[in-house]
A and B are shown apart, each in its own frame.
Chain A
Amino acid sequence: MPKKFLPGYEILFLFLHKIYSLMRERPDTNCCDEILVKELFRKHAKDLYQFLYYKYGIENHPKDLVQEAFIKLWNHCHKIIPEKARSFLFTVANNQMLNELAKKKTVLKYHQERSNENTSDTPDLFREEDDYIVRLKKALEELTEDQRTTLLLNRIEGKKHKEIAEMLGISRKAVEKRIYTALSILREKVEKK
């Protein structure tokens, strides 16, 4: 007669615990969940789009790059935990561009805010304004990708230095340095007559 028919309570407990942790951890350990991907999209897609737009310009189709990055995320969902999704997306989108042979020169679009009443009164002033914007556009497009991205995310999108630092994987000090350098270059170029 066997002393006990079944293994001790400890083994049963360990088994239950294992099942419990499998149930708990499984949905969180990767990104293979539609609702989760949607959530990640809402959270990161806009930032990623802005980053790509300022870095590579409209001609390189930042919207499509965002799409591709998310599809890649979905295809590799088993290997990615949600906390790493953001850095995965940024890295992937960036690499896609680096590998792209047909990469186009960065082109930015601008829209001028001009109130109609004043148009006829002081045309010279607006001519000057126009020139200023055109020079600025050219100068911006001539900045390095990193300088431009950093500057515009900060100045236009109001992203904090710390946020940008995390996004680009550099220090906060470096972000400030870049903004400073970028602004100096721009100023020099737009004010040169």
Chain B
Amino acid sequence: MEQEEYIQKWIEGTLTEEERKIFEKTDTYRSYRKLSDSLNAFKAPEYPVEDEWGRIYSKKPTLGKVVSPNWFQPVYRVAAVLVILFGIYYFFFYDSITTVRTPRAENKEFRLPDSSSVILNAQSNLSYYKMKWDEKREVKLDGEAFFSVTKGSIFDVQTSSGIIRVLGTRFNVKNRPDYFEVICYEGSVEVESEGEIARLLPRQMFRVLNGKIVKADDIPDHTPTWIMDESSFQSVPFYQVIREFERQYEVSIVAEDVDLDQLYTGRFINSDIDLALQSITFPLNLRYQIEKDKKIVLSVDPD
């Protein structure tokens, strides 16, 4: 092996034991050893780390920028704590409202958390607190719905016109402007409205019309007719019939010289507009005309 190679390997520290022994006997090695050892005389003066840190630290006033993140961080901390608290509150205590709505001309059937079923008539909405359902069965209704409530604790239906309270039964609630009607189909229903509490048994009806209470106990059907696509009326002012018609067919009805307060008893189908129009006009001696933009004009039949 060449001398240079020995030196290189010596520097790299890759000499084998034997190679090292051979190399250490050479003059070259002694010369390098001496050189290498002598270099220690040139060692850099000891660096006083702590003293030098003190020197830098004494210049700290010029380093104002350092301060800013220090006050910024507590702000983040406070913000984070607030957010976490809010998050916990939101997660455990905040109860979001579940709302189901139907547009005009559309029904919707769904189940509540206790599997009670609800069929919502056109243009209605029903809301309830999902998380509190186990404590309190309570729904808010705006519009018309048919409930089949499974047996259990008290079940409340809140409406703008009154409260309906049941334990487990089937009943229909119709809560429309100037019109409130509850019909019981099974079990019993307690209605509180206009300062009166009424108890309904099957086929009994409680109605509030323009602030007046009307009761009936001869409802012919076992279920509301509208769930079978038919709207039925028992001595209902004609304008209420028109409003229901508009909800079921997405039309606007204009009545010319027609007595809107006359009572109507009858039914119209919710799936065939011509048939339905005939059903509401024929008994009252009216005629109808369908115009553009879903407008229907009713007028008295001169014949």
Which residues of A come within 8 Å of B, CB atoms?
A: 1, 3-6, 9, 12, 15-16, 19-20, 22-23, 26-27, 30, 32-34, 38, 41-42, 45-46, 49-50, 53-54, 58, 62-63, 66-67, 70-71, 74-75, 77-78, 108-113, 132-133, 136-137, 140, 151-152, 155-157, 161, 176, 179-180, 183-184, 186-187, 190-191
Take A12-B87, A16-B87, A151-B39 as given contacts and tell me if A4 and B63 are in contact as well, using a CB distance cutoff of 8 Å.
no
* A54 touching B76 in the complex, CB below 8 Å, given contacts A41-B53, A78-B65, A180-B11: no
Sample of 12 further A-B pairs with CB below 8 A, known A22-B76, A26-B73: A1-B99, A4-B96, A19-B79, A23-B76, A32-B69, A50-B44, A71-B59, A77-B66, A136-B42, A155-B40, A176-B8, A176-B12
A112 CA / B37 CA spacing, docked (Å):
12
Q: Chain B at the A interface: mostly helix, strand, loop or mixed?
A: helix
Task: Please judge, given known A-B contacts A183-B11, A187-B31, whether A156 and B39 are in contact too, CB under 8 Å.
Answer: yes
Residues of chain A within 8 A (CB-CB) of B32 are: 183, 187
Bound Cα distance from A190 to B38, whole angstroms: 11
A190, B36: Cα distance in complex, Å: 12
List residues of chain A with CB within 8 A of the CB of B96. 4-6
Contact between B39 and A152, CB atoms less than 8 A apart:
yes
> Contact between B38 and A132 (Cβ–Cβ < 8 Å)?
yes
Residues in B neighbouring A20, C-beta threshold 8 A: 80
Shortest Cβ distance from A153 into chain B, in angstroms? 10
Q: Known contacts being A187-B32, A187-B35, is A111 close to B52, with CB within 8 Å? A: no
A78 to B47, CA, bound (A): 28
Q: Could you say which residues of chain B place their CB within 8 Å of the CB of A156?
A: 39-40, 42-44
CB under 8 Å from chain A, chain B span 58-89: 59, 62-63, 65-66, 68-69, 73, 76-77, 79-80, 83-84, 87
Q: List 11 A-B contacts (CB under 8 A).
A: A12-B87, A16-B83, A19-B76, A23-B73, A32-B68, A45-B47, A71-B59, A71-B62, A156-B40, A176-B8, A179-B11
User: Closest chain A residue to B7 by CB distance?
Assistant: A180
Interface presence of B133 (CB below 8 A):
no
Chain A residues with CB under 8 A of B40: 155-156
A49–B47 CB distance below 8 A: yes
By a CB distance below 8 angstroms, the chain A residues around B214 are none
Residues of B with C-beta under 8 A to A15: 83
Given A32-B69, A137-B42, A152-B42, check contact A71 B87 (CB 8 Å): no
> Do A1 and B43 contact each other (CB < 8 Å), given the known contacts A16-B87, A183-B32?
no
A156 and B46 alpha carbons, distance in the complex (Å)? 12
Chain B positions within 8 Å of A, measured between CB atoms, are 7-8, 11-12, 31-32, 35-36, 38-45, 47, 49, 52-53, 55-56, 59, 62-63, 65-66, 68-69, 73, 76-77, 79-80, 83-84, 87, 90-91, 94, 96-97, 99, 125, 127
Q: How far does the Cβ of A103 sit from chain B's closest Cβ, in whole Å? A: 18
Interface residues of chain A: helix, strand, loop or mixed (majority): helix
CB of B83 within 8 A of CB of A19, answer yes
- How distant is the Cα of A30 from the Cα of B83 in the complex, in angstroms? 25
For the complex formed, measure the closest distance between the CB of A187 and the CB atoms of chain B, giving whole angstroms: 6
Do residues A6 and B35 form an inter-chain contact, with CB atoms below 8 A? Answer: no
The distance from the CB of B195 to the nearest CB of chain A, in whole angstroms, is: 27
A14: shortest Cβ distance to chain B, in Å?
11
Q: Are A136 and B65 also in contact (CB < 8 A) when A5-B97, A49-B47, A176-B11 are?
A: no
How far is B172's CA from A138's CA once the two chains are assembled, in angstroms? 110
Question: What is the CB-to-nearest-CB distance from A33 to chain B, in angstroms, rounded to a whole number?
Answer: 8
A113, B41: Cβ atoms closer than 8 Å: yes
- Note all chain B residues with C-beta closer than 8 A to A32: 65-66, 68-69
Interface centre among A19, A38, A63, A75 (most CB of B within 10 A): A19
- In the assembly, what is the distance between CA of A113 and CA of B38, in Å? 10
Minimum Cβ distance to chain B for residue A123 (Å): 19
A45 touches B44 (CB 8 A): no
